[in-house]
A and B are shown apart, each in its own frame.
Chain A
Amino acid sequence: MEGTQLGQIPAKATTGAGQGAVDEVDLTPVRTYWQLARQRFMQHSLAVVGLIVMAILVTLALVVPTITGSLYAKTSLSLANHPPSLLNPFAPLGYDSIGMNVFIRLVKALQTSLFVGFSAVSIIVVVGITVGAIAGYVGGAVDNLLMRLVDVVLSLPSFFLIVMMVALFGTGNAIVVIVAIGIVGWTTAARLVRAEFLSLRETDFVQAARALGAGDRRIIVRHMLPAAMAPVVVAATLGIADSVVVEATLSFLSFGISPPEASLGNMLTNAQEFFYRQPILILYPGLTLILVVLAASFMGDGLRDALDPRQRVRK
């Protein structure tokens, strides 16, 4: 209403109304939910290791390819099958059968994998939250329709669906791979958000917000989403590991990212051909893949324990 109404409320009105109030202001510092969560996360040693490893991998993937530019695709047959040597700082992991620098290629592949992983998870989170929030909030027929859609997507063999989409819309294109993983993967996030919303929409504070005249969008975005985020954050972190593996598998089967672009999957394919001559080549992408997946999984576990204090059963 008009601002003049504000004037009707005298600013100094405590004495009349608040005579009975004897509560004292509590001066102890209060830790917020996120501070507590961080503290619990830090107590989870594996999760901290995962976080550090992931931080190193992300830094490498961001820094090295920027410096080396297009060198990852450069072949020089004179250097083919050059063995790894720590004495050579430029090519500590040696060169492969067509003379590509394995270290530079590996880091580029790591970049590709992480890019695919994070992007696919972003799609999963956005689509999952949107669908789950609408289903849980609106309920009724809409909920039914959306959840049956989830059932349909879940009932399809997801990997073959991804392979099919990639084959149809462009083999070797990272964007297609990302979208395909996203289209197949949003269902879990949607279910999680819907479940949270079903219980949140019955809470008194949502009812109170509605009684204050808040609209649907405001209630969903401001009042319900923050409370529903914890399980989504956990699922997203674990989803990174899944997406990286799916991308590597696709590329390994030469449906995903194809040479000269580097990916952990196509490096594995490549190394496999020369398994008897240079078995060590298979180790680099393989170990990197394991590192990424483990780091993401440990972080996910740590987040799960940190964000849901009630669920601390196992030690």
Chain B
Amino acid sequence: MTVHRSDRPLLEIQDLRTHFFTQDGTVKAVDGVSYEIGDGKTVGVVGESGCGKSITALSVMRLIEQPGRIVGGSVLLRGRDLLRVDDAEMRDIRGNQISMIFQEPMTSLNPVYTCGDQISEAVSLHEAVGRRQAWERAVEMLQLVGIPDPARRAKQYPHELSGGMRQRVMIAMALSTNPELLIADEPTTALDVTIQAQILELMKSLRERNRMAIMLITHDLGVIAEMADDVVVMYAGQVVEQSDADTVFAKPHHPYTTGLLASIPRLGEKRQRLEVIQGVVPNPLNLPKGCLFKRRCPHAMPVCDTPPPLQEIARGHLSRCWLTPAGEPPAVGPEATGELAEAAASALQAPA
């Protein structure tokens, strides 16, 4: 399924499964997700709320809490499986090789300590440096993320800073150890649009400077267009489409991606009504049989009662849909072969 390259990518997520064992049943929040992130690449992960984007990221960091559990798959960081290293090693990787910034800059900083304290803590957790050095690094990092008068700001408490400033502090903290991979979980959602642009600009310039890869989780396709090299579209815990950014925007294949793109308002375009994807994300406790998107899909057909595989429809372009690469309904007949034929046959046999 994955595209093979001669050198190993930085991060390979393979068939990751994270389930939540609730009283009402098992929620398969992430169910067989695979994708990879190359060195210095930015991968945008998109999808509606609750589709498993953040849970995938938290699984990579091994920060899943009860009642959730990673039940299968592997997460390879430079070939080393993070799901199999011990806790101490994992702590060393967190914040050092992989850093994460969160959606809520307002609450992600500890209100009890100054910004400088918190950045120096991040530094001293992973490097044998003295207090003075750590503090100097903190001030340096604050300057790097574009905070004016960093020496003074370092002595201030989080409540004395605005949201945009706090997100800068979070970024400074995440980058203080020069990670190879930055996981940004909706880094701009809580910020207003102008600050959003500033933060994205900042992340771009830091990405180039530090040559780090970014896993960018968002439901804002505008942010993806701005930042991402590759795009992973998720729906109900699965990857439904995966490709480079240009292809996804120019030639989306999966009806869900098409729907997402159609529901963006565009400047200067006259439309009566903004298109929406009908319906809601299915209840994770009661997923439909077959294709998870079929209830909302404008192209739903009998064959959709069988779960479609994630298949390569063009070079480097994967889609989990029965539609042909050209977007036509698949031909069901004697000429059909392989999985599709079996699926069509079983769909005709009995209305499950």
CB distance from B10 to the nearest CB of A (A): 16
A311 at the interface (CB under 8 A from B): no
A223 at the interface (CB under 8 A from B): yes
Q: Is the CB of B94 within 8 A of A212?
A: yes
A25 at the interface (CB under 8 A from B): yes
Segment touching B, from A11-19, A72-80, A249-257: A11-19
* Chain A interface helix/strand/loop/mixed: loop
CB distance from B167 to the nearest CB of A (A): 12
Q: Is the CB of B94 within 8 A of A211?
A: yes
Complex: how many Å from CA A82 to CA B94? Answer: 76
Contact of A213 among B125, B164, B205 (CB under 8 A): B125
How many residues of chain A get a CB closer than 8 Å to chain B's CBs?
A: 43
Q: Is the CB of A17 within 8 A of B210?
A: no
Q: Is the CB of B146 within 8 A of A208?
A: no
Contact of B146 among A11, A17, A33 (CB under 8 A): A17
Q: Is the CB of B107 within 8 A of A213?
A: no
Segment touching B, from A1-9, A52-60, A121-129: A1-9
**Residue of A6, A222, A226 contacting most chain B CB atoms (<10 Å):** A6
Complex: how many Å from CA A33 to CA B111? Answer: 10
Q: How many A-B residue pairs have CB under 8 A?
A: 136
Q: Is the CB of A1 within 8 A of B94?
A: no
Contact of B102 among A12, A19, A33, A208 (CB under 8 A): A208
> Given contacts A5-B178, A23-B148, A207-B63, are A213 and B137 in contact (CB under 8 A)?
no
A21 at the interface (CB under 8 A from B): yes
Measured between beta carbons, the chain B residues less than 8 angstroms from A11 are 140, 143
> Given contacts A30-B160, A212-B125, A213-B126, are A17 and B205 in contact (CB under 8 A)?
yes
> Given contacts A8-B210, A25-B148, are A16 and B125 in contact (CB under 8 A)?
no
Please report which residues of chain A, range 9-48, place their CB below 8 angstroms from some CB of chain B when the two chains form the complex: 9-14, 16-21, 23-26, 30, 32-33
Complex: how many Å from CA A208 to CA B173? Answer: 10
B66 at the interface (CB under 8 A from A): yes
B170 at the interface (CB under 8 A from A): yes
Complex: how many Å from CA A30 to CA B94? Answer: 34
> Given contacts A210-B63, A215-B91, are A18 and B110 in contact (CB under 8 A)?
no
Contact of A18 among B102, B107, B145, B197 (CB under 8 A): B145
CB distance from B56 to the nearest CB of A (A): 14
A283 at the interface (CB under 8 A from B): no
B258 at the interface (CB under 8 A from A): no
Complex: how many Å from CA A209 to CA B129? Answer: 19
Measured between beta carbons, the chain A residues less than 8 angstroms from B177 are 1, 5
CB distance from A203 to the nearest CB of B (A): 6
**Residue of B99, B146, B173 contacting most chain A CB atoms (<10 Å):** B146
Q: Is the CB of A23 within 8 A of B178?
A: no
CB distance from B256 to the nearest CB of A (A): 29
Complex: how many Å from CA A205 to CA B100? Answer: 12
B206 at the interface (CB under 8 A from A): yes
Q: Is the CB of B95 within 8 A of A212?
A: yes
B83 at the interface (CB under 8 A from A): no
Chain B residues within CB distance 8 Å of chain A: 61, 63, 66, 91-96, 99-100, 102, 104, 107-112, 121-122, 125-127, 129, 137, 140-141, 143-149, 152-153, 156-157, 160-162, 164-165, 168, 170, 173-174, 177-178, 194, 197-198, 201-202, 205-206, 209-210
Chain A residues within CB distance 8 Å of chain B: 1, 3, 5-6, 8-14, 16-21, 23-26, 30, 32-33, 139-140, 203-205, 207-215, 218, 222-223, 226-227
Name 10 interchain pairs, CB-CB below 8 A, sorted by A: A13-B144, A18-B202, A32-B157, A204-B107, A205-B107, A207-B63, A213-B91, A213-B94, A213-B95, A227-B110
